Amino acid sequence: MVILGISFETHESSVALLDDGRILFAAAEERYSRIKMDDSGPIRALQAGLRHTGLCPSDIDIVAISGFAPPRNWYMYARHVIVQKAFTSGRDLRSVQFRLGNRDVVLRGPAGVLANLALCTGAPQVLLLYLLRRMRIARSLRGFKGSVTHISHHDCHVASACFTAGFDECLSVVVEGSDWRHTFVMDEYAEGSFRAVAKTRWPHSPGSFYELATTLLGFNYLRHGGKVTGLAAHGNPRVAYEKVAPLMRAEGLEIRVSPLIYTLREEYLLSGKIPSYFAEYAHADIAAAFQRRLEDVVVETVSAALQKIKHSCVVLAGGVTSNVVLNERVNGINGVEKIFVHPAMTDAGQALGAALYAHNRELRKSGQHARPMRLRDVYLGSEYDDDEIRAALEEAGVKYVKVDDMEVEVARLLADKQVVARFNGRMEYGPRALGNRSILAHAGDPEVNDWLNKRLQRTEFMPFAPSVLADESERYFPQVKGAEHAAEFMTLTFRCSDEMKARCPGVVHVDGTARPHFVVDEKNPSYGKILREYFKRTGVAVILNTSFNMHEEPIVCSPADAVRAFQAAGIDYLAIGNYLVARDGLR
């Protein structure tokens, strides 16, 4: 049974293809359109998935769409806006912020009021988020004769995590902005079934709480939450904590927020200045207080749930769980023995979740259920052969040489403290670069965060991440027990050993943590060989790994993307397939 999962009504549109529960392909539209967090119909990703798998639309048995089916989605779209405006007593009617293609648009004053009133009808959302996009998808699936089903946004998140963690039973925790109805949901999973433990209803949203900090600090509310997380380590959470704490609190197993999280945001959107509520505080201290409060509230509620249902395994999904420091705190809760964070924890994981949920539902019709797989790897996107790579190099007019043992050569260059962009094999699924679309460097320079980010035209507070040989990881991260699988996907931070701090300062944050990528040789033999060869040369089983992209661009997808990004950046070498390009070889 072939199932196409597809997501297009929220940010980060994506597709996934399953065959009898086996993941064939999964990727986000942004990689192909080159628009960061693209929320349009994922036509290019769909075409890439069909091309990679060799499938035709007629081969697909079920299309599983993330979201509510019409007309219920119309009601949900309208209700979502109305509930928020009622919560604030209309005090956030004068502005509205939304995406238009690859631009963020803010309407203010009368235009903002009119836009909000229109959104209260749900009609613009039905047309723009659903109908037009679904029509485009339908045109791309001519010949499809199977059935179409809709899977709720929340069910997509919970399925993505539970069916890839490998746990027979667990507590699922989904933390996000909104699934149109809820924002923070805990479920008990066992034997293919989900039982709700607690649900926090919109507009009481931990995602909106954190988006307030992101907005007030001048960052993009959708894309730059990680900048707030990184900045927080440079501040003192106690300084502004008393101002931040009333904005969100735990109430039993649920979360409550103050209307201020919406009205303060409006105040900022209208004036362009931090509201007087926070005006006396340094940016780093504001970030630190929001980060600490988020951790405290989520940990309090999850701890209470674990005391109630007595599970020792926890899985996480939802956009807020891209916060690796929060995930570390959840991992440290008393009673948590194993943790897993779905690698595409944001809405980029919706399509795969839809497909997995639909697969389980089909099995349950015959009295069976899907067995949770232990996700092997995330190399689930497109791959390009030598001919395609060589054609891109020729088209760009760059000099290149073919290398017989590229892994050994890359290890040698890294040991010589060169920076190498690597493009190899299948593209990663999810927001992290895990070796196949990565920029690699020696991790021993404490200043690398400054000079390499300048070359890449990035502004980051979060340090670069380390790729670490899994069988050597205990030397560098002595407290990872129960999170080894999650650490393969760079989804949590961990305390660093003294050796790690001393020998790899370029990937250690100011708080003494790092967010590692554990590399298992058999799961990515080529990348594992690079690390192994580097270890032989240096005695260090750690290299710096950051995503291969320029500022505000998605991670590279195609050979042409890789060559273009390499030409724009001050990177020493490009290792692309079996070909090597040197910076001084650019024409």
In a domain, 249, yes or no: yes
CATH number at residue 213: 3.30.420.40
Residues in the chain where the model's pLDDT stays below 70 = 460, 585-587
Cβ atoms < 10 Å from Cβ of 182: 21
Q: With a threshold of 0.95, does the pTM exceed it?
A: yes
With a CB cutoff of 8 Å and minimum separation 6, the contacts of 510 are: 233, 234
**Residue 587, pLDDT score:** 45
Residues 570 and 436 occupy one common structural domain: yes
3-state secondary structure of 11: coil
Angle (CA) 367-56-558 rounded to 5° is: 110
**Residue 225, pLDDT score:** 86
Contact 570, 560 (CB under 8 A): no
| Gap between the terminal Cα atoms of the chain | 50
| Angstrom distance (rounded) from CA 222 to CA 271 | 20
**Residue 217, pLDDT score:** 95
Q: In terms of residue numbers, what domain contains 423?
A: 386-585
| Backbone phi, psi, residue 54, to 5° | 75, 15
Residues 172 and 233 occupy one common structural domain: yes
**Residue 460, pLDDT score:** 67
Residues 400 and 528 occupy one common structural domain: yes
CATH number at residue 560: 3.90.870.20
Domains of the chain: total: 2
In a domain, 514, yes or no: yes
Bridge partners, residue 345, by sequence: none
Residues 332 and 399 occupy one common structural domain: no
